Amino acid sequence: MNNTSLGQRIRQARKELSLTQNELAQGIVTSSMICQIENGKAFPSYQVLQSLSERLNKPIEFFVSDTDASKRQRSSYTLAKALMASESYEKAYSLLKTLQETHGTEQDEFQMTLSECCQRLGKFEEASEPLDKLLSNAIHNGDVSQQVTILQRLGDIAEQSGQYQLALYHWHKAYDLLNKSEIDPAVKSRLLTSIGNTYYKLGYLEESLQFLQQAYDSRESFLTLEEVGQMYLNLSLSYRDSNDYKKAAYFSEQAYIIFKSQTNMKLATDVKRSLGVLLGKQGQALEALTILEECMEHYLRDGDLYNLGLTELEAAQILHAKGDLEAAIERLHNSLGKFSHNELETARAHHMLADMYRHKRDLPTAIQHLNNSLHLYQKQGQSVGLIEAMSLSVKLYEEWDNFRQSKYGEAITA
């Protein structure tokens, strides 16, 4: 018992007397405060603790007595958080798991910290487990703010592991709770941005713009300058894909100014890439390719293979529009090895290769790439890409059928 927290001891004493949180709180604090104290999210003043101890028929020492073991526990936990702050996640994870095994730590803060550490290490399933339990507790206690925080985290974990539809499921549940309690405006703005960004990745441009615009409307007071810049960048991408190049250029320029002022060269390069793509859309192919080449050099120096691959995709589209099909195909093949586990971008590359090999009249190779893209789009639930790929599939198989008839005098049968 000595190794339990203050909140756990209050809960234990309350249950011994069969009191509800509301009955314990009456005339002293709110029932919500009792809930927070018991869950380790708040600490009572001495006067409040004295009143609670009297109502619970326990000496105040029962709640505040300490031992060397609990001191060591707090020290170890503080060290684990310091290790995480220094990005030494493996060491922090080992320490946190030892604490969990030896002390059975159940406080909300500890569970959130353990979850974050697991997420940083890519242990996504393990990261979700404590959050699922905390979410159940928050729902039981009617703590809407905590529910939103946990759902945001669950969405972050799903998004990071490539489960975009699951991420949207969690974030939309959080979004539905926003008007049911006073939520930190920064949390709300980041939630809207997360939803908008993920819709963009999935190709739902109208939905992406809807949520990013909401985040933009409440941006200035609640986001850091870097976060505002990132939001401008995503708005630019969404407007670009909606063919609203004027707004896309405006937001790109604003983002570039912010990132430059922050001396954040990686993000500034992302914006530069966006500007290059816009020039390509406006028919300025040479200028666009020059800018994208500069971006690729920067990503290559930084070892940022993912963004290098994305830029090669953009360059391939411009080369294709320019009529340089062989160079476009070479860029796409180069990009395929750089996306690692990002199946959406891999699907996009295969889709583009299918279309380009179709233009080369290499139909077997085109069909092979198209089948790869269809499989990945379907696996990721990317309906927009899937519909576009299926449309290309119809054209390809019609052309293949015609080719077989002209060459062999027979039609393909199902």
Choice between 12 and 405, residue whose per-residue pLDDT is larger = 12
Residues 107 and 19 in one domain: no
pLDDT tens-digit readout, 153-179: 999 999 888 888 899 999 999 999 987
Residues 87 and 176 in one domain: yes
Q: Measured between alpha carbons, how far is 161 from 158 in angstroms, rounded to an integer? A: 5
Straight-line distance from the first to the last Cα atom of the chain, in angstroms, rounded to the nearest whole number: 72
The answer to whether residues 245 and 283 touch, using CB atoms and an 8 Å cutoff, is no
**Residue 382 is encoded by which pair of tokens?**
């990317």
The answer to whether residues 2 and 65 touch, using CB atoms and an 8 Å cutoff, is yes
Residues 97 and 157 in one domain: yes
Residues 100 and 16 in one domain: no
Q: Measured between alpha carbons, how far is 173 from 153 in angstroms, rounded to an integer? A: 12
Q: What is the mean pLDDT of residues 274-303?
A: 88
| Contacts (Cβ under 8 Å, ≥6 apart) of 407 | none
Considering the domain boundaries, does residue 311 fall inside one?
no
**Which CATH number covers residue 177?**
1.25.40.10
Single out the residue of 94, 91, 130 nearest to residue 110, CA to CA.
Answer: 130
Residues of the chain above pLDDT 90, percent: 19
Considering the domain boundaries, does residue 14 fall inside one?
yes
Considering the domain boundaries, does residue 212 fall inside one?
no
pLDDT tier at 247, thresholds 50, 70, 90? confident
Residues 111 and 169 in one domain: yes
Residues 59 and 124 in one domain: no
Number of domains in the chain: 3
Residues 101 and 54 in one domain: no
Pick the last residue of a domain from 134, 158, 183: 183
Pick the last residue of a domain from 183, 210, 225: 183
Q: Measured between alpha carbons, how far is 395 from 387 in angstroms, rounded to an integer? A: 13
> Cβ atoms within 10 A of the Cβ of 38, count?
23
Alpha-carbon Rg for the chain in angstroms: 27
Pick the last residue of a domain from 38, 65, 92: 65
Considering the domain boundaries, does residue 337 fall inside one?
no
pLDDT at 256 over 90: no
Query: What single letter denotes the amino acid at residue 60?
Result: I
Residues 160 and 110 in one domain: yes
Considering the domain boundaries, does residue 172 fall inside one?
yes
* pLDDT for 411: 44
Q: Over the range 230-249, which residues count as b (16 or more CB within 10 Å of their CB) and which as e?
A: bbbbbbbbbbbbeeebeebb
Residues 358 and 395 in one domain: yes
Considering the domain boundaries, does residue 391 fall inside one?
yes
Structural domain containing residue 357: 343-414
Strands (E), 282-336: none
Mean residue pLDDT across the chain: 82
Considering the domain boundaries, does residue 363 fall inside one?
yes
Residues 110 and 54 in one domain: no
Considering the domain boundaries, does residue 389 fall inside one?
yes
Residues 122 and 36 in one domain: no
* pLDDT for 199: 87
Choice between 309 and 79, residue whose per-residue pLDDT is larger = 309
Residues 38 and 124 in one domain: no
Q: Measured between alpha carbons, how far is 76 from 294 in angstroms, rounded to an integer? A: 47
**Which CATH number covers residue 21?**
1.10.260.40
Residues of the chain above pLDDT 70, percent: 88
